[in-house]
Amino acid sequence: MKAICVDQFGPPEVMKLRQVPDLSAGPGQIVVAVKAAGVNPVDTYIREGWYPIKMNLPYTPGFDAAGVVVQTGQGVTGFQPGDRVFVSGSLTGTYAEQVLCTSEQVFRLPEQISFSQGAALGTPYGTACQALLGRAKAQFGQTVLVHGASGGVGIAAVQLAAAAGLTVFATAGTDKGRRLVRQQGARHVLDHHDAGHFEAVKQLTGGRGVDIILEMLANVNLDGDLDALAPHGTVVVIGSRGRIEIDPRKTMSRDLNILGMSLMNADAKQRAVIYGRIQAGLEAGHLHPVIGQELPLEQAPEAHRQVMEAAHYGKIVLIP
């Protein structure tokens, strides 16, 4: 089979398409024929070599994929060859024609969800779900600002929050992105590059602020977020690409919470809850990943360049 291989950490070009041996499933494992692989920002951090998760070289990148089960190992129940599935995490990396997973990393993909959409589920929807429901413990009737809503996690968060009965405020950096997030269920849509957007959130909530902020770029926004939160409000830091100075006094005056989260911290029990919720949302028709770009597997370097550029519009996936 063909797979993207990384022999050394570095720029996108270190990813090379190679012929490698087919995979086979050991006890408790599943081999999936990959029809689409999701590209996440974290794949680029790991490839560059600075991220706390260090892969042993050579490795195949990618955490997310969707495809068809080709082989199940001894003791695997609930899956058989031919099943449509999506994958969140794997033993071998998803930028390949096949991926080897433990049975806990594989989930059924409803018929109405395409393979490309399935490849957009694992990390983005898992993260949005854990941030909104696991960490912020969002409740029906609350308000949430999805700060950076036009990318993979943001669109997932808008859809999940709208489905859970929250009033959604969302930001994007382009007109196209703002139209997209409104279509996904955001009631109020703002531009995160506009310095006045924190004040606009306050005004749109009658001066109160929002109950929850899901923050995709905390190193830019965290101090402003503290102004836009309602009393007892919570900001969940999902993404951050540097340092920021904040005024801690703002948290005291209104009993604010600043929470961090990483999907990688979710244990097996939490993952079962997260992906159970996502499957229920898919089956109910509330969740429908948006695919901005499908690229052939060999264009993984181009996909890594694009995922780190501005002007997001949904998810980038690779097609083997």
Residues near ligand NAP (CB under 6 A): 40-42, 123-124, 127, 147-154, 171-174, 177, 192, 216-217, 220-221, 238-239, 261-263, 307, 310-312
* Half-sphere exposure in the Cβ direction for 313 (13 Å, CA): 11
Q: How far is the CB of 229 from ligand NAP (least distance, A)?
A: 15
Question: How far apart, in whole angstroms, are the C-alpha atoms of residue 224 and residue 239?
Answer: 15
| Bridge partners for 102 per DSSP | 29
Q: Which is nearer to ligand NAP, 272 or 311 (CB)?
A: 311
Instruction: Show the 3-state SS of the chain.
Output: CEEEEECCCCCHHHEEEEECCCCCCCCCEEEEEEEEEECCHHHHHHHHCCCCCCCCCCECCCCEEEEEEEEECCCCCCCCCCCEEEEECCCCCCCECEEEEEHHHEEECCCCCCHHHHHCHHHHHHHHHHHHHHHCCCCCCCEEEEECCCCHHHHHHHHHHHHCCCEEEEEECCHHHHHHHHHCCCCEEEECCCCCHHHHHHHHCCCCCEEEEEECCHHHHHHHHHHHEEEEEEEEECCCCCCCCCCCHHHHHCCCEEEECCHHHCCHHHHHHHHHHHHHHHHHCCCCCCEEEEEEHHHHHHHHHHHCCCCCCCEEEEEC
Q: How far is the CB of 114 from ligand NAP (least distance, A)?
A: 18
Q: Which is nearer to ligand NAP, 25 or 128 (CB)?
A: 128
Q: How far is the CB of 163 from ligand NAP (least distance, A)?
A: 18
State both tokens at 273: 């809850």
Q: Which is nearer to ligand NAP, 62 or 177 (CB)?
A: 177
Q: How far is the CB of 64 from ligand NAP (least distance, A)?
A: 10
Q: Which is nearer to ligand NAP, 101 or 170 (CB)?
A: 170
Q: How far is the CB of 36 from ligand NAP (least distance, A)?
A: 16
State both tokens at 120: 């957009």
State both tokens at 251: 């948290």
Nearest residue to the partner ligand NAP, using Cβ: 151
Q: How far is the CB of 303 from ligand NAP (least distance, A)?
A: 11
Q: Which is nearer to ligand NAP, 81 or 311 (CB)?
A: 311
Q: How far is the CB of 191 from ligand NAP (least distance, A)?
A: 9
Q: Which is nearer to ligand NAP, 204 or 220 (CB)?
A: 220
The DSSP bridge pattern shows strands 188-191 and 29-38 to be unpaired
Q: Which is nearer to ligand NAP, 134 or 281 (CB)?
A: 134
Q: Which is nearer to ligand NAP, 33 or 168 (CB)?
A: 168
Q: Which is nearer to ligand NAP, 264 or 272 (CB)?
A: 264
Q: How far is the CB of 29 from ligand NAP (least distance, A)?
A: 25
Query: Are the CB atoms for 292 and 313 separated by under 8 Å?
Result: yes
Q: How far is the CB of 310 from ligand NAP (least distance, A)?
A: 5
